[in-house]
Homo-oligomer: A and B are copies of this chain.
């Protein structure tokens, strides 16, 4: 997500205020740049929205250093102790190699552990450690704060409508 910094900077209210107060005569006389047919593409807005949302999530959870994909992995393991790696990958639509890498990292941080799955030689059962459970609890509090930022930005009714629409269309489609 290389756009992170640009987006983050541009959308912070104080940065915007600062930008306004700086005199930039060349910029100010230019007409706004039109995006043409992009205005008709759902994917364009979906990507802008997703980047904005992820940036806010990353900022809001920066004190515990948990990124969006890591959060979703912790939540799903916490919800399904003993889950296999392949079921986790399938549930979240994460490519196997990337998931293995992520689990290595979470394990090194002492948050998750793999145990041999009884009866399935090549499979692992995934668990949160006690530390992982504490971390997830904290992460959920911060993630709720993040969600409150979205409510501020979108309005409660719009956020709910968007969530319902998206859930209806994308839930269980993995």
Contact = CB atoms under 8 A, between A and B. Distances in A.
Given A45-B167, A147-B41, A161-B165, A7 B174 contact: yes
Contact of A33 (B36, B87, B168): B87
Interface in A86-135: 87-98
B169 A42 contact: no
A72 interface: yes
How extensive is the interface on chain A, given as a class? Answer: 35 or more
B75 A36 contact: yes
Contacts of A32: 172
A109 to B, nearest CB: 20
Please report whether the interface of chain A is mostly helix, strand, loop or mixed according to DSSP. Answer: helix
Interface string A137-163: 000100100110010011000110111
B93 A10 contact: yes
A50 interface: yes
Interface in A22-46: 30, 32-46
Contact of A91 (B35, B49, B146): B35
A43 B68 contact: yes
10 contacts: A3-B98, A36-B75, A38-B72, A40-B163, A42-B147, A43-B68, A46-B53, A47-B50, A153-B169, A165-B165
Interface of A: 2-7, 10-11, 30, 32-54, 57, 68, 72, 75-76, 78-80, 83, 87-98, 140, 143, 146-147, 150, 153-154, 158-159, 161-163, 165-174
